[in-house]
Amino acid sequence: MLARAQSGDHQAFAELYSTHKRRIYSLCLRMVGNVAEAEDLTQEAFLQLHRKIATFRGDSAFSTWLHRLTINVVLMQLRKKGLSLISLDEAMEPVQDESPGRSFGAPDPTLTGAIDRLALERAVASLPAGYRLIFILHDVEGFEHNEIASMLDCSIGNSKSQLHKARLKLREALRTNQPLEAQS
Amino acid sequence: MNQNGNNQGCAEFQARLPELIGSGEDMSVNPHIQSCELCRALLADLESIAEAARQLFPIVEPPDNLWEQIESAIRDEEKSGKKK
């Protein structure tokens, strides 16, 4: 099917869309939280796929390549909107000052009981985009760090480090019950 | 039982956490986890968040007419010769 789509077979491209539409649309929706915008982004991702599919050489799994393409579409849109976000590049930069150790010895209330799903979804939605992306790709979608590193052009260690920071930010938001943008 | 955290031990342990979590290592036998209540709570919280994440944002189906819109946009691009 992929080879036929690459050679311009419209029916094969339609089959590719059918195979991947749920995951691509869901990724867009998880990143922007808005149905209409997620539809536009999904459309743009598949349009770009149609333009670029002949360039896919099989160096990675096709689904990884398509996710990477979609992520670029989503991040471009987020940058256009100028939303509060840590860009992907910024999120991939090593951050020196975010060791959780800075609160050693301080009172440290833990999350009690089961985590409320809606509260966690709100906290995820308020993460800077770079952290949100890594958290969604790994913890929600189930990609491995080596796949994420390939999608985002970063090291596996960087992917692990950024995921850890995303989880720490979520923990902080859940403990204080405040969206991240409301915190100093 | 260390309830307030040992700055040096906690710093070293937490610096290794990104690697340790998800490594498959049995964290319950980690000497620092066994002795530090704060880091044990931190680890439990992070594992709870990762576990809860699997239930978030279920996979959803895009609307049926989205493919028609994509097809139409592809045709428009092909007609206008923009396809690269």
In this complex, is the C-beta atom of B72 within 8 Å of any C-beta atom belonging to chain A? no
Contact indicator for A96, A166 with CB cutoff of 8 Å: no
Compare A43 and B83 and report the one with higher pLDDT: A43
Q: In whole angstroms, give the CA distance from residue A137 to residue A4.
A: 29
Q: How many domains does chain B have?
A: 1
Compute the nearest-CA separation of B72 from chain A (Å). 10
DSSP A71-87: HHHHHHHHHHHT-S---
Q: What is the DSSP letter of B64?
A: T
The pLDDT, as a whole number, for residue A99 is 44
CB count within 10 Å of CB A134 equals 30
The B residues from 32 to 51 touching A (CB cutoff 8 Å) are 38, 41-42, 44-46, 48-50
Q: Is residue B30 part of a domain?
A: yes
Q: Is 60 exceeded by the pLDDT of residue A57?
A: yes
How many Cβ atoms from other residues are within 10 Å of residue A90's Cβ?
12
User: Given CA atoms A152, A150, A169, A139 in this order, what sign does their dihedral have?
Assistant: positive
pLDDT at B4 over 60: no
Q: Give B-chain residues touching A115 at CB under 8 angstroms.
A: 48-49, 52
Tokens representing A94 are: 């090593």
Please, what's the b/e burial string for B41-61 (b: 16 or more CB within 10 A of its CB; e: otherwise)? ebbebbebbbebbeebbeeee
Q: Is position B1 within any domain?
A: no
Q: Look up the domain containing B11 and give its range.
A: 7-79
Most confident of B33-37, B44-48, B63-67: B63-67
Chain B residues inside the 8 Å CB shell of A96: none
Whether B2 is in a domain gets the answer: no
Domains of chain A by range and CATH?
2-81 (1.10.1740.10), 88-182 (1.10.10.10)
Which of A37, A63, A115 to mutate against chain B (most B CBs within 10 Å)? A115
